[in-house]
Amino acid sequence: MNQVISIHPVTRIEGHARIDIHLDESGQVCDARVGIAALRGFEQFVVGRPAEEIPRIVNRICGICPWMHHLAAVKAIDGCFGVRPAPAGHLLRELCQVLAHIHDKILHFFFLAAPDFVLGPGGDYAVRNIMGLVRQEPELAAQVVRMRQLAQMMLERFAGKAIHPVAGVAGGFAKPMREEERQGLLADSRVLLDFASYALDYAKNKVFSRFCDALQSLGTITTGFLGTVGHQGALRLYDGSLRLMHPDGTTVDFPANEYERYLAEQVEPWSSAKMVYARSWGEGFSLDPDAPRGVYRVNTLARINVCDRIATPRAQAELEEFRGRFGRPAQGTLLYHWARLIELVYACERTLELLADERITDPAVRVPATPRAGRGIGHVEAPRGTLIHDYSTDDNGCITRANLIVGTTHNIAPMNLSVRQAAASLISAGAVDDEMLNRIEMAVRAYDP
Amino acid sequence: MRPRLSFEWLHACSGCEIALLNSGELLLDLLDRVEIVHFPLLMDHKYTSRAGGEGEVHLPEAEIGLVSGGVASEEHQAVLRAMRASCRTLVSLGTCATHGGIPALRNQWPIAAALKTVFAGSEGGTAIPDTILAPLDRVYSIDEQVAVDVSLPGCPPRSESIIEMIAALLAGEPFHLPCKSVCETCPTIRTGKGQQKVRRFLANAEYDPEKTVAEMRCLLEQGLLCMGPVTAGGCGGKDAPLCIRARVPCRGCFGPVRQGGNQLLDMLNALASNGMGHRDIVDRRSLLRFSGAHGLLKPLRERK
């Protein structure tokens, strides 16, 4: 008898999703789908609004990564109005962006993902969570809660709002950084870097070492990757060229404003989320698990795979160790977690670099902008992957058209493949238990959707 | 037995939940005092057992339920009704839940138009997965759908306010926000004589960055559209409002000062009483950008 097993909602992820696993008459997995049901309509309701207001509206796409949407939009509006941001404004934007990555990575690894590893994938659901972690490892959990809060409060102290920010503006930034603020942020950033190094060591020694097989096998698929690189192929989160890597490891670099030449979107009737695929490979799009076409991944593992190096020393050492163990590109889906913690180290080191740059306290933070007709494409690497905001404006500088490709959208197709792979390898002859279902969810959690 | 808390998010962004997590030590104290029985962001309680059918949402009983986000689909309705049925006290958390929030900007268009725009430009044609979405005709606030016991607006609400509210409810005490506007909590200098024209925020406000917010001229008097007069205060606690600290004008994210207020009409009145014209405002209906539920924002076609 055909049967559908549903996981609804997928939990400990940063949005709304469900999984439906289809079993055939013999109880084998014949299909599995991750459904993301949400219609927010941002592309509709930004139309007609003054463009300079957009960064304060689209940040509401995500309360976990509002800085990413805020800054991708700010960059795109710079483009619409043809304004080049003031150098200090540019630095302040990047500072806020990398700081916002820090709380996000701590949240994802420790609050959402770690309970599966520390408390076990088959543990009681009532304790397999951050509350259970607080009881089992109170000192670690308290430290995690405090460090996440510290990263958020650094943003709030300097930029007013940490959640749904307002300080990024067309032409630069709304306020300069005083020397006293810089010193305070420097001291806090050193604390965060120490914690990041500790967190990665903890994960390597106490977490990943117990899951060596799963790291390489659970939900593992073979895909291409997309990320952002800067000078000499260095990992970048705030700006740079997009780099698309084919599953065979070959790469092509292109500026974000040419994204439509390399990527295409497709609607599947069973998913409310659009799928994106690699148009430039010329093979179309298919989710056939035996021969997927056009599928690439984004987010931490993708960025760690596409970059040639990391320009900060501790993260570079970690990258070398990672590559030594898993090769390039690494395809293991749970390796997203490892890559996430390498990026946490990078984000802390980059914060210190930016704060050490004396130009960051220059009081000239904004170049006035003039509304005009134009088109602007802004991109950043959000925690969940490459984020592209594309707007057009009319003569009065109001939005006429918007296209947004958010990080998770790129990963919808590969998440479906990973869930199918995990389900097929775990379920046989219709036998299902709660631990199997949680392991299937772990394949989704790795993508941090 | 510890008091039980249940959390849900509907047409939401998770900012309210992150605001709760941002409370740090206060969060650790709270976790020590309560049992969380349902919270999709943080724990694995599901709507149905895996053999369960469609449409049925089963939620555990709780003393306090907190719901963020507005109501935009049939699934949101089902989850919200289950929350109402299972929670003794129901809290609408954040401005989407209390007034529709940013997603209620969608209410300016018929749902068919929004679907067409969002799913346009796809390589596979214009297939719209509308059966999966089951969207409602518009975005509703929570109190338009079920009875609400306590409302805590904010986009997001202040972390400390969320904790204080939960603590008050646990102690059986009433929780009320002070009925103050953002202006009443703002320390900037007001002289009563300001610019008569409203300008777009295309250049920064005038202020000395080495001086405090209290030494800065009121942004509305500088000619920037600041919605402080018509917006519920409290975002900054005892200190200056958060956007003002960033030297940026308020856009109204805590909703109207009084529950039934209309931020658009109230702001036009506020401008008039300050001797400022409203003709220079581009996109006036944006004044309802956080409070478009309750039928305040409607499709343009209906406004002949």
Rounded CA-CA distance B154/B284 in Å is 21
State the pTM of this model: 0.97
Rounded CA-CA distance B53/B47 in Å is 10
Rounded CA-CA distance A200/A348 in Å is 13
A388 touches chain B (CB under 8 A): no
pLDDT score for A272: 77
Domain ranges of chain A: 84-220+331-367
Nearest chain A Cα distance for residue B89, angstroms: 22
Query: Among residues of chain B, what percentage have pLDDT more than 90?
Result: 80
Rounded CA-CA distance B104/B71 in Å is 9
pLDDT score for A188: 98
**Do A37 and B73 count as a contact with CB atoms less than 8 A apart?**
yes
Nearest chain A Cα distance for residue B90, angstroms: 21
With a cut of 60, say whether residue B303 has pLDDT above it.
no
Q: Write out chain B residues lying below 8 Å of A12, CB-based.
A: 41-44
DSSP for B17-73? Answer: HHHHHTTTHHHHHHHHH-EEEE-TTT----SS-TT--SS------EEEEEEESBEEE
Contacts of B51 (CB under 8 A, 6+ apart): none
Q: Higher confidence at residue A392 or residue A272?
A: A392
pLDDT score for B50: 56
The mean predicted confidence, pLDDT, of chain B is 92
- What are the start-end ranges of the H helices in chain B? 15-21, 25-33, 74-86, 95-99, 111-118, 130-133, 159-170, 242-245, 263-273
Please name the helix (run of DSSP H) or strand (run of DSSP E) that holds residue A242, with its range, or none. Answer: strand A241-245
Q: Which residue has the tokens 């024209």?
A: B197
Confidence of residue B132 (pLDDT cuts 50, 70, 90): low
Nearest chain B Cα distance for residue A233, angstroms: 31
With a cut of 50, say whether residue B302 has pLDDT above it.
no
**Nearest-CB residue to A45 (from B25, B108, B246):** B108
**Do B283 and A50 count as a contact with CB atoms less than 8 A apart?**
yes
Neighbours of A434 (CB within 10 A): 16
Chain B contacts in chain A segment 391-420 (CB below 8 A): 396-398, 403
Nearest chain A Cα distance for residue B266, angstroms: 20
With a cut of 90, say whether residue A154 has pLDDT above it.
yes
**Nearest-CB residue to A39 (from B21, B118, B201):** B118
Confidence of residue B126 (pLDDT cuts 50, 70, 90): low
- What would the mean pLDDT of A114-119 be, rounded to a whole number? 95
The domain made up of A84-220+331-367 has a fold known as Cytochrome-c3 Hydrogenase; chain B (1.10.645)
Are A410 and A301 in contact, with CB atoms under 8 Å apart? Answer: no
Please name the helix (run of DSSP H) or strand (run of DSSP E) that holds residue A192, with its range, or none. Answer: helix A179-202
pLDDT digits (tens, 9 = 90+) for B249-261: 999 999 999 988 9
Task: Residue A411: name the closest of A333, A329, A340, A335 by CA.
Answer: A333
With a cut of 70, say whether residue B124 has pLDDT above it.
no
Q: Write out chain A residues lying below 8 Å of B201, CB-based.
A: 52-53, 169
A424 touches chain B (CB under 8 A): no
With a cut of 80, say whether residue B131 has pLDDT above it.
no
Domain(s) of CATH 3.40.50.700: residues in chain B: 4-170
**Nearest-CB residue to A64 (from B18, B25, B209):** B18
Confidence of residue A274 (pLDDT cuts 50, 70, 90): confident
The mean predicted confidence, pLDDT, of chain A is 96
Classify B4-170 by CATH class. Answer: alpha beta
- What would the mean pLDDT of A213-225 be, rounded to a whole number? 95
- What would the mean pLDDT of A223-236 be, rounded to a whole number? 98
| Secondary structure letter of residue A23 according to DSSP | E
Q: Higher confidence at residue A272 or residue A133?
A: A133
- What would the mean pLDDT of A434-440 be, rounded to a whole number? 96
pLDDT score for B304: 42
**Amino acid letter, residue A2:** N
